[in-house]
Amino acid sequence: MRGRFDPIMKTARTFTAVIALLAFQTLIAAEKLNVLFIAVDDMNNDLACYGHPTVKSPNIDRLAKAGVRFDKAYCQFPLCSPSRTSIMTGLRPDVTRTYDLDYHFRKHLPDAVTMSQLFKNNGYYAARVGKIYHFGNPGQIGTNGLDDEASWTERINPKGRDKNEENLLTNHTPKRGLGSSLSFQRAEGSDEEQTDGIVATETIKLLEKNKDQPFFIAAGFYRPHCPYVAPKKYFDLYPIEQVPAPKGPFDEIKNVPKAATSFCTPWPWYGVTEQQSRESLQAYHATISFVDAQVGRLLDAVDRLGLTEKTIIVFWSDHGYHVGEHGLWKKQSLFENSARVPLIIAAPGTAKGQVSPRTVELVDLYPTLADLAGLPAPANLGGASLKPLLEKPDAAWDRPAFTQVWRGSFPGHSVRTERYRYTEWAHGEQGAELYDYQNDPKELNNLIKDPKHSKTIAELKDHLKKNWANEYTPGNIKRKGKR
């Protein structure tokens, strides 16, 4: 009798196995990965995990040990709004037409689906605390700034003691607005009273409230952007007698096009003295350590809430920052310290405590997070998913990084490979630069006139032509979409 029913029993067992497999797959699909998206403002790579000898950043270093640190990550435009818009839309500045601090990408791209909006549209709770899109800093602290309402389920705009005590600032550049000054304050009181302390506190509240549902929570810190404000204890980490002054005479800028430094004003930066520059650097590093402590509070909360194994954590800065290199301060150059950014991604199931030497871009973040979360990203994104590098950090990768700026009536375009940076101003009409970082990591020798590098220049020039072919031509260097 049993033989007669064997085929039936076999079919039943197969059916049961299929049902069990489908149920398992459904369970896995239901366990969506969360995203904690941590942004900092104007932070360069002066971090211990990136090799800085004196900056103390134990919590960012801790995140690097839990994920992959990208050694060569670059922004698309070293200015807050163009860069942040590019990151959140996954589109390059020439597509968003955002080149300044005033234009909103929705004027040109009303139907764009931003990164957090994609998660929101797929059932995630999406929230922002602090600065993700551009906010005038410090002028628009506590407001929505140039935010994008469609990107979020909820928005929170902290405002702390630093904003209320701006009259206590020491300002070495009084003719400059606070948002572009060398100004600082050794603040009284606790971390939690500062705007960035409130950013951490409110983000932790959101993590606690939404720990049982899929979320995309963005924590946008306002420091180390000037004014450099942090509680006194962070200044004490950097005794002023141990803080170096920029080393002159910066003869290297004699061999670069005028446009390379025209928006950055070489040393002496707006007339500051060496001692004032040293005090400003002390304050900048103090604010890095202050923000690092707030990042640590977020990491502690993720661990405490049992979210570590189901949360992707991304740490990024909107662009780099000069602190004396080439006699420059701040951003908007196409030198390495302006274009390069810290970028760390810790994701469940990917590499931990490793460094990727590959050249990547901030525009890669959108496709990366969509890929890791299994969401359908828009087809027109400008970057590529970094998932292969998260799994194998030194995997083959043949994508250079592109960064651009504007100099009034003409653009500057730069391409960075693992070894070289090539830059053209007005498609070469206003000059060009080539640097070999293998032999010249401080960019002291512009090789553009060296015949030994003619082949390299031709290859990199071709990269630029291909990347900007649909946006600019040498005969048309006026700003597209001029307003």
- Tell me, yes or no, whether 325 lies in a domain: yes
The region of weakest confidence among 40-44, 185-189, 471-475 is 471-475
User: d(Cα 131, Cα 119) in Å, to the nearest integer?
Assistant: 19
In the numeric block, which tokens belong to residue 180? 């572009």
Same structural domain, 309 and 334: yes
Same structural domain, 308 and 457: no
Omega of the bond leading into 224 within 30 degrees of 0 (cis): yes
Q: Give the dihedral sign, CA 240/242/244/245.
A: positive
In the numeric block, which tokens belong to residue 83? 């860069």
Task: Quickly state the pLDDT bin for 468 (edges 50, 70, 90).
Answer: confident
User: d(Cα 403, Cα 13) in Å, to the nearest integer?
Assistant: 58
Higher-scoring residue by pLDDT: 18, 375: 375
- Tell me, yes or no, whether 304 lies in a domain: yes
Same structural domain, 313 and 179: yes
- Tell me, yes or no, whether 479 lies in a domain: no
User: d(Cα 202, Cα 394) in Å, to the nearest integer?
Assistant: 37
Same structural domain, 230 and 362: yes
Q: What is the pLDDT of residues 298-327, one digit of tens each?
A: 999 999 999 999 999 999 999 999 999 999
Please report where in the chains the tokens 């606690």 appear, as a residue.
208
User: Per the residue annotation, which of 49, 52, 75, 80 is the catalytic one?
Assistant: 80
Same structural domain, 349 and 430: no
Same structural domain, 52 and 125: yes
Q: Is 50 exceeded by the pLDDT of residue 480?
A: no
Q: How many domains does the chain divide into?
A: 2
- The length of the chain in residues reads 483
State whether residue 287 is helix, strand or coil: helix
User: Per the residue annotation, which of 52, 104, 108, 134 is the catalytic one?
Assistant: 134
Same structural domain, 437 and 371: no
- Look at residue 13 in the predicted model and tell me its pLDDT: 55
Higher-scoring residue by pLDDT: 403, 264: 403
| CATH code, domain with 163 | 3.40.720.10
- Tell me, yes or no, whether 16 lies in a domain: no
Beta strands in 91-243 (DSSP E): 125-130, 154-156, 170-171, 183-187, 215-224, 228-231
pTM score over 0.85 = yes
Active site residue 75: no
Q: What is the pLDDT of residues 345-380, one digit of tens each?
A: 999 999 999 999 999 999 999 999 999 999 999 999
What is the per-residue DSSP string for 342-369? EEEEE-TTS--SEEEEEEEEGGGHHHHH
State whether residue 225 is helix, strand or coil: coil
Q: Residue 322's domain spans which residues?
A: 33-401
Same structural domain, 246 and 328: yes
- Tell me, yes or no, whether 18 lies in a domain: no
Q: Is 90 exceeded by the pLDDT of residue 37?
A: yes
User: Which residue among 346, 372, 401 closes a domain?
Assistant: 401
User: d(Cα 257, Cα 371) in Å, to the nearest integer?
Assistant: 41
Active site residue 427: no
- Tell me, yes or no, whether 473 lies in a domain: no
- Tell me, yes or no, whether 74 lies in a domain: yes
* Section 246-250 average pLDDT: 83
Ramachandran category for residue 443: left, alpha or beta (phi over 0 → left; psi -120 to 50 → alpha): left
User: d(Cα 307, Cα 54) in Å, to the nearest integer?
Assistant: 32
Same structural domain, 376 and 413: no
| CATH code, domain with 426 | 3.30.1120.10
Same structural domain, 381 and 422: no
* Section 202-208 average pLDDT: 98
Same structural domain, 269 and 360: yes
User: Which residue among 356, 384, 401 closes a domain?
Assistant: 401
- Look at residue 401 in the predicted model and tell me its pLDDT: 98
- Tell me, yes or no, whether 15 lies in a domain: no
Please report where in the chains the tokens 């040393």 appear, as a residue.
267
Q: Is 279 exposed, middle or buried (0-12, 13-18, 19+ CB in 10 A)?
A: buried
Same structural domain, 184 and 314: yes
Q: What is the pLDDT of residues 148-177, one digit of tens each?
A: 999 999 999 999 999 999 999 999 999 899
Q: What is the average pLDDT score of the chain?
A: 92
